[in-house]
Amino acid sequence: MSPRLRRSAARPARTPRPAATSLTGTARRIIRLNHGFQLLFNLLWWMPVFYAYQKAAGLTDGQIFGIQSIYYVAFCLFEIPTGLIADRIGARNCLRAGAVVMTAANLAPVFSASYTGFLVHFLAIAAGRSLTSGAASAYLYDGLRAERCEEHYLKAEGTARALGLAAKVLCWPLVGPLMALAHPAPYVLSAVSAAGSLACAVALPRSAASAGARDAASSDRTGKASGAARGGRGASLGEAKAALRCLASSPWLALVMVQGVAVFTLSRICQVNLFQPILLDHGIGEASHGGVLAAMTVAEAVGSARPQWLGRRLTPVAWVSVLSLALAGTLAGSTLGGPWTVVTLLCLFAAAAGFAYPVQRKLVNDAVPAHAPRATLLSVESIVDRAVCALAAVAVGAYLSAGHLDALLWHSALATAVLLGAFQLVLRSGGVRRGPGGTAEAAPGAPGAGAREAVQARQRDRCASISITRTGR
C-alpha cells in the first residue's frame, strides 16, 4: 500500500454534521412576525433630529439632557415590574401592550411640543421598550423551542436586528425632507410604525408558549387551583423570588450576564454619547455625521445578520469576550489615527457589536434554567446593563467636561480588559462549569461540589413548582 493510501486509511472518518431541523409552518410565521415587530417597533424616525426638534420647541440644553437622565432611570425602574408582567400575562400579550404604549408615546410631542410633552414622551418610551425588552426575546426563543426549531434562534435574532438596522439606513435620510413638508412628520411616522408593530404582535400565534407554560397546562388540577388562588400581587412576588432563586442557583447565568455588560455599555456609550465628540475631535464636520452613522449602521447590520461567520474555533463565550476586547480596542485606537482611520475603526466597532449581540442573547437564553421565569430574568439582565450604562454616562460627562476624551477611551479599554480578565479567571478556576440546559453547577472535585449540586437541584425544583402555579402565561 502506498504511503498516501496508508495515511488515508489511518485518518479517522469525519463525523457528518447533523442537518438542521427544517422550519415548521408555525416557526416560519413566528420568525416573520418577529422580524416585522422588531423592525417597526424600533423604527424611530425622530432619532436623528430629536435634539434639534426640542431646541426648536424652546427647550434648553439642561432640560433636554435632564429628560435623557430621567429616561435612563425610568427604564431601569420599569424593567422590574414589566418583566414580572411578561411572565404573568404572557410574552405575546406583553408585546401587544408595549406596542400600544409606544404608539401613544410617539404621538405625545405632536399634541404637546413642550417640556411636559417631551418628558411624557420619553417616560412612555421607557415603559414601552421595557415591556418588550425581555418579552420579545423570550417569545421567539420559547416559540421556536416549542416547534423543536430552537437551532434557528440565533439566525432569527440576528436577522431581525439586521433588518431593523437596514430600515434605519433607508429611512433616516428622508427625515429632513419630510420635516420640511410637515414639521411633526418624524413623530407621526414613528407612531404609524409602532401601530404596525402592534398588528404583528396581534398576529403572533398562541402556540409559542414557554416550557413552563406547557408544564403548567399539563399539571394536575390541584396545581391549577393553587395557581388561581395565588393570583395578583402574591403571584408576581413569587415570580420575582423565583427569578432571584434561579439566578442564585445558576452561577453560569450570572457570569454570562456580567460578560454582556461590556458589549452593551461600550456600544451604547459610543453610538449615543461619544459618536459626535469623536468625529468632531478629528475635524469631521457635522454635515458628514449622517453618512458615517449610515456606514456604521450597515456594518452593524451585516454583523447581526451573519453571526455564523464567526465559526466554531472558539466557543460562543470566548467569541463574546474577543468581540468585547475588539470594541474597546477600536475605541482606543481611534485616538491615534486621522479622520479616515477613525471612520474605519468606527465601522469595525459597529460590525463587532453586530456580531456580539445575537451571540450574547443566545448565551443568556441558553443559560436560563428550565421552568424559570425567562422574561423576568431577561429584564434583570437589562436592568444590570442600563444601570452600568447610566454610571458610565456620568463618567463620560465628567471626562468630556474636562476635555479628556482620549483618556476616557483608553480608560474604557483598560476597564473592559480587567473585567473580561476577571471573567476568564473565574471560568478557568474550575469552580463553575456549564451544566445541562444552560445551568451552572459546581465542577466535579471542587470543594462542596456535592452539596452545591443538591442545593441547585432544590432551587430548580422550586423554580418548577412556582412555574406550575402560574396563571395567564
Residue pLDDT, tens place only, 390-407: 777 777 767 877 778 888
Give the mean model confidence (pLDDT) for residues 167-195.
Answer: 86
Task: Give the residue with greater pLDDT, 66 vs 181.
Answer: 181
Residue whose C-alpha cell is 449615543: 272
pLDDT at position 218 is 41
pLDDT band, residue 143 (cuts 50/70/90): confident
pLDDT at position 413 is 87
Specify whether the CB–CB gap between 49 and 173 falls below 8 A.
no
**DSSP class of 130:** H
pLDDT at position 90 is 78
pLDDT at position 61 is 67
Phi, psi for 274 (deg, rounded to 5): -105, -10
Specify whether the CB–CB gap between 418 and 297 falls below 8 A.
no
Residue 438 has pLDDT above 70, yes or no: no
Give the mean model confidence (pLDDT) for residues 310-318.
Answer: 81
Tell me the CA distances in angstroms from 94 to 85, 126, 259, 375, one per residue in order.
7, 14, 27, 10
Specify whether the CB–CB gap between 140 and 153 falls below 8 A.
yes
Distance between CA 72 and CA 66 in Å, rounded?
10
Residue 167 C-beta-side C-alpha neighbours within 13 Å: 19
Residue pLDDT, tens place only, 49-99: 776 788 788 887 667 767 777 887 888 788 766 666 766 777 788 889 999
> pTM here?
0.61
Among 380, 417, 170, 386, residue whose Cα is nearest residue 267: 386
Residue pLDDT, tens place only, 252-291: 777 888 788 888 888 877 776 677 678 778 887 655 666 6
**Which residues, in sequence order, are CB contacts of 336 under 8 Å at separation 6+?**
none
Considering the chain, what is the average pLDDT of its residues?
74
pLDDT band, residue 461 (cuts 50/70/90): very low
Task: Give the residue with greater pLDDT, 440 vs 374.
Answer: 374
Q: Which residues pair with 432 in a beta bridge?
A: 442
Residue 246 has pLDDT above 60, yes or no: yes
Q: In order of start, what are the domains of the chain with their CATH numbers?
A: 25-209 (1.20.1250.20), 210-473 (1.20.1250.20)
